Amino acid sequence: MSLPLEGVLIVDFSQFLAGPYASLRLQDLGARVIKIENPDGGDLCRQIYLSPQMMEQESTLFHSINRGKESLTLDLKSQCGLADAKALITHADVVIQNFRPGVIQKLGLGYDVVSQIKPSVVYGSVSGFGTDGPWANLPGQDLLAQARSGLMWLSGNCDDGPVPVGLPLADILAGANLAHGLLAGLYKQATQGIGSLVETSLLESLVDAQFEFLTTYINSDHQMPQRLSDGSAHGYLEAPYGVYKTLDGQLALAMSSLSSLAVALESRELGQLAQTPRAGFSQRERIREIVAQKLMANTARAWEELLSVTGIWCARILDWPELMVSDTFKKLQMTSTMGQDDLAQTLMRSPLRVDGRRPEAVSLGPTLNQNGDDLRREFDL
């Protein structure tokens, strides 16, 4: 299939998650990604294991985020390696790096240098906490960024203390934001023939993800969101918003008319509360108690069917096995399996569809320097 970024060459010096996630998203849209790795072991992500399961003797994490890329090892601290990097950059449309602030400059590949080598280059940079200020040189790691962002006080119930998001949200959001900026840079490159410096950080991306909450906080006399005692899902939205136990499983209730819910649950008290202005805020805990008691009378599946037909927004809470057997997930075709029988490996595919089709995940991540010889010949390194 024809993809929008075919012909775009990305030279990616980044490792771990945020930078490689950005190049993965652009690769899914047709770009070619050459991953530059240290000859001594390569991307540290190769050895960061999420489980004992491995793919080609390396971490599933590495393959999930570096699938389909090419690998070239260069010792950037050597004159030869640096010269090869600069030669390769003359062919690049995009350069990505996520070293700690100051490191890429010491290596001789900062934006000031790279933009002289290739004035039209789009240069993408990810840091942990920005390039200035007292946190600039701290380790840019996802959990640490979550800890400093305020995000951990939004999930869980009021007695839980801070609750981290259970996936590397800072890395994923920073990578997605960088990809967004790089696309804008590529448009400027294509229309004006000039380059751009695109920068973001884990902290900036987490702060941006909280833009609704922070706007409310800043403009409401710094009123903090209030988590509920149980099933809390949003510290500002009024009841009955949240998660509830049922006879079998859990049910999520989104923004719903309190009066409609009172009728559906046959609750007189809920109906009375619905007549009180802003009761969803002032009586959040009591409304939750009433709804929770009513929902224990039936299963999550039954409530999902009963409430949905009345226009109440709700969803049964699924785990991964339930999600993956659903007809909707199957229709989306978001997995790609390579190989057969005992050698079969499955990777996730792009979340985007282009012209009605989802780009394929064509291969696992490269072995270290897998494409080195071919790339050296192609680019005369």
pLDDT at 340 over 80: no
pLDDT digit string, tens, across residues 82-123:
999 999 999 999 999 999 999 999 999 999 999 999 999 999
Q: Which residues pair with 120 in a beta bridge?
A: none
pLDDT digit string, tens, across residues 354-373:
999 999 888 999 999 999 99
Report the distance separating Cα 172 and Cα 41, nearest Å.
Answer: 24
Read off the pLDDT of each residue in 290-317 and give the average, rounded to a whole number. Answer: 96
Question: With bands split at pLDDT 50, 70 and 90, how would you rate the model's confidence at 252?
Answer: very high
Residue 57, pLDDT score: 79
Residue 58, pLDDT score: 85
CATH of domain 242-323: 3.30.1540.10
Question: With bands split at pLDDT 50, 70 and 90, how would you rate the model's confidence at 48?
Answer: confident
Q: Which residues pair with 251 in a beta bridge?
A: 244, 316
Residue 49, pLDDT score: 67
pLDDT at 68 over 90: yes
Mean pLDDT of the chain: 94
pLDDT at 309 over 80: yes
- The superfamily CATH assigns to domain 9-209+338-378 is Crotonobetainyl-coa:carnitine coa-transferase; domain 1 (3.40.50.10540)
pLDDT digit string, tens, across residues 125-152:
999 999 999 999 999 999 999 999 999 9
Report the distance separating Cα 169 and Cα 147, nearest Å.
Answer: 12
Residue 341, pLDDT score: 72
Output the pTM of the full model. Answer: 0.92
pLDDT over 70 for what percent of the chain?
Answer: 99
pLDDT digit string, tens, across residues 211-233:
999 999 999 999 898 888 888 88
Parse the chain into domains and list their residue ranges.
9-209+338-378, 242-323
Cis amide linkage into residue 240, ω under 30° from 0: yes
Angle subtended at Cα 232 by Cα 230 and Cα 235, rounded to the nearest 5 degrees? 135
Question: With bands split at pLDDT 50, 70 and 90, how would you rate the model's confidence at 256?
Answer: confident
pLDDT at 317 over 90: yes
Question: With bands split at pLDDT 50, 70 and 90, how would you rate the model's confidence at 51?
Answer: low
CB distance 123 to 196 below 8 Å = yes
In order, the DSSP letters of 187-240 are HHHHHHS--EEEEEEHHHHHHHHTHHHHHHHHTTTTPPP---SSS---SSSPTT
Report the distance separating Cα 349 and Cα 332, nearest Å.
Answer: 10
Looking from the CA of 35 toward its CB, the CA atoms found within 13 Å total 35
